[in-house]
A and B are shown apart, each in its own frame.
Chain A
Amino acid sequence: MVTEILEYYKSLGINVFSLACGCAVKVDLKDVVYPALEKIKPELEKLGIILNPREDADIFERTEEIHVFRKIYNLNTPVIDDLDFIPDRAVAVFSVEQRNAFDPETFAQKLLSVYAKLANKVDRLIIGKGHSIIGAKSPEQEIAVLDFIRIEGKSIEGYTLANNCTVRILDPTDKPGSSLQVEAILSNSLNDLFSLGVTENIRICPLFDMPTNELLNEAENNIGNFCKKYNFNLQMTRPLGYGDIMMGATVIGETSKEIPAFKDKIRKGDKILIHRPIGDLAPINLYLAALIHGEEYVNSLGFSLKELEKAKNMVLNVMRKPNIQVAKVISKYCPEFGEKFNDSEHIKETTDISGPGIYVFKEIAEAANVDMRIEKIPLMNEEIVRTTVREFLMPNGTTGTNGAIAIIASEEVIESIYHDLRKQGYRPEIIGTILGKGRGRVLIPENVRELMSSKSLLDEFEVIN
């Protein structure tokens, strides 16, 4: 079966092993995207383009109606026509060549090429969320996909949230538009909404491309089936039309609650919970290494190919399920709209652990000005994560796709959430404690050295014995 799939990709002229699995396809946030955004922000603000601060999703007023329309611009020769209607905001996906994803200056020019021209067509536009990927193989394929949003009608209590995310492929041993890949990748797009407790009026605007009509049809069918299965609204969009492999979506949802974003309330003694073990991408990466190197290689590492295939399928089956029940639990512990935060009832902060793995805890600690201690790092398959890192196949073995969601709250709230999640069939774990106000230190157990090979990442933590 695997051989057949690999031959199938070959027949399409695609080296499937060159397609990054999971989130490795993202432009580096810390060293490229954020410095580039800081650089162009003041210039764009003068032109009326406002880049929102980095958040897991764009959060805005909830109204009776919301309209979304998509425009695709080439980054090297952008032609910006008049827009069909005046948008209030937009979420953007930028796809660039690897050589342009390296330094902030080059990348900033790519963003500017579209935003500066767009400024001629709108008086004021908020870019609520951006997502940047290394997905282009030529200048013609370097594009910006902008989903413009217009809100209309009366205000409704609550918030609307929008997010976008794309992945090229998750499992190269499966067809790119298969139900498993579609479900896992769309669930990944939704995860930032779910981590904020958003579950109402979920709308999916797919962002996808495939090299053949057969694959496009299969992908479209599976997108439709996924939306039907979970009762999500589908706003079907045309494929990008570049004949490449890409899957993802802009997703929109609503909540009638406050958003669990109370970093300033995080205090000494608060607990950190994750809704399930992490390290999802390691089994996929080790399985791929096994396919390329041969079974002898994985045998020498103490695994059989069958064992790795089973581990890979197990994580993919977890990934393909949207974390909607986790979102419902999170929503239960959020204040009603307009209600004040209460330490003994509400969640203080949540985040999706997917892409950055445990580095998310460093980001939270710094943003909240607290120090924290992570006491354990539960993994889906610890032996496979350690081997993948030891073989330098992944610099960070704790990353995932449609990953675990982390929740910070007072001890009593965390205990209650823990039991709610257990009832839903998850495997939550309380993994750490807030030590108090501080400079963003994250103390972490020594075994982290076996879960990350990147020195620059390890340097962000204080390893304790």
Chain B
Amino acid sequence: MKVLKPDRKLDLRGEVCPYPVIYTLKELDKMKSGEILEVITDHLPATENVPAAVKKKGHEVLELSKISVGTFRILVKKR
């Protein structure tokens, strides 16, 4: 399986709603089309909200995976 290398990383551990969505979208605004953003979160609702919010803006969710107990990685490709 191909390992995706992110262009930018956003560690949002410790952040709760509404901030994971806000910071993810803000970071994507700064990126170029086709670049990949890695978001790390330990706030469970963010694993639902962040992918939904970025998809709504037309970006692509490449991966949502658990990297340790309570911590998740979301990979987003900027449209």
Task: Answer yes or no: A227 CB below 8 A from chain B CBs.
Answer: no
Binary interface profile of B, 14-48, with partner A (CB < 8 Å = 1, else 0)? 11111101110110000000000000001111001
User: Does B19 contact A99, Cβ atoms closer than 8 Å?
Assistant: no
User: Does A392 contact B16, Cβ atoms closer than 8 Å?
Assistant: no
User: Does B48 contact A394, Cβ atoms closer than 8 Å?
Assistant: no
CA distance A20 to B22 in the complex (A): 13
Residues of chain A within 8 A (CB-CB) of B26 are 292-293
A285 to B, closest residue via Cβ:
B18
Task: Answer yes or no: B2 CB below 8 A from chain A CBs.
Answer: no
CA distance A17 to B21 in the complex (A): 13
Task: Answer yes or no: B53 CB below 8 A from chain A CBs.
Answer: yes
Residues of chain A within 8 A (CB-CB) of B45 are 395, 454
Binary interface profile of B, 39-63, with partner A (CB < 8 Å = 1, else 0)? 0001111001110110010000000
Distance of A426 from chain B, by nearest CB (Å): 29
User: Does B16 contact A393, Cβ atoms closer than 8 Å?
Assistant: no
Distance of B53 from chain A, by nearest CB (Å): 4
How many residues on chain A are close to B (CB under 8 Å)? Answer: 30
Residues of chain B within 8 A (CB-CB) of A31 are 44
Task: Answer yes or no: A61 CB below 8 A from chain B CBs.
Answer: no
Task: Answer yes or no: A106 CB below 8 A from chain B CBs.
Answer: yes
Identify which of residues 19-72 in chain A touch chain B, using a CB-to-CB cut-off of 8 Å.
Answer: 20, 24-25, 28, 31
> Which residue from B48, B70, B71 sits with its C-beta under 8 Å from A454?
B48
CA distance A17 to B53 in the complex (A): 19
User: Does A24 contact B15, Cβ atoms closer than 8 Å?
Assistant: no
Given A98-B43, A454-B48, also A134-B16 (CB < 8 A): yes
User: Does B49 contact A395, Cβ atoms closer than 8 Å?
Assistant: yes
Distance of A148 from chain B, by nearest CB (Å): 31
Task: Answer yes or no: A154 CB below 8 A from chain B CBs.
Answer: no
Residues of chain B within 8 A (CB-CB) of A106 are 69-70
How many residues on chain B are close to A (CB under 8 Å)? Answer: 25
User: Does A392 contact B49, Cβ atoms closer than 8 Å?
Assistant: yes
> Which residue from B21, B23, B44, B70 sits with its C-beta under 8 Å from A392?
B21
Residues of chain A within 8 A (CB-CB) of B17 are 20, 24, 285, 393-395
Distance of A117 from chain B, by nearest CB (Å): 25
CA distance A456 to B22 in the complex (A): 22
Task: Answer yes or no: A137 CB below 8 A from chain B CBs.
Answer: yes
Residues of chain B within 8 A (CB-CB) of A292 are 22-23, 26
CA distance A357 to B69 in the complex (A): 28
Task: Answer yes or no: B8 CB below 8 A from chain A CBs.
Answer: no
User: Does B22 contact A293, Cβ atoms closer than 8 Å?
Assistant: yes
Residues of chain A within 8 A (CB-CB) of B15 are 18
Given A20-B16, A24-B16, A393-B17, also A455-B48 (CB < 8 A): yes
Task: Answer yes or no: B13 CB below 8 A from chain A CBs.
Answer: yes
User: Does B22 contact A28, Cβ atoms closer than 8 Å?
Assistant: no
User: Does B13 contact A453, Cβ atoms closer than 8 Å?
Assistant: no
CA distance A134 to B13 in the complex (A): 12
Distance of B10 from chain A, by nearest CB (Å): 13
CA distance A425 to B4 in the complex (A): 59
Distance of A460 from chain B, by nearest CB (Å): 15
CA distance A225 to B66 in the complex (A): 48
Distance of B35 from chain A, by nearest CB (Å): 20
Task: Answer yes or no: A200 CB below 8 A from chain B CBs.
Answer: no
Interface residues of A (CB under 8 A from B): 17-18, 20, 24-25, 28, 31, 98-99, 101-103, 106, 134, 137, 285, 288-289, 292-293, 388, 391-395, 453-456
Given A392-B21, A392-B56, 16 more A-B residue pairs with CB atoms under 8 Å apart are A17-B19, A20-B16, A24-B16, A98-B13, A99-B42, A102-B44, A106-B70, A292-B22, A391-B21, A392-B50, A392-B53, A393-B49, A395-B45, A453-B48, A455-B48, A456-B48
Q: What would 21 A/B residue contacts be, using CB atoms closer than 8 Å?
A: A20-B17, A24-B16, A24-B17, A25-B16, A28-B44, A31-B44, A98-B14, A99-B71, A101-B70, A102-B42, A102-B44, A292-B26, A391-B53, A392-B52, A392-B56, A393-B21, A394-B18, A395-B45, A395-B48, A453-B48, A454-B48
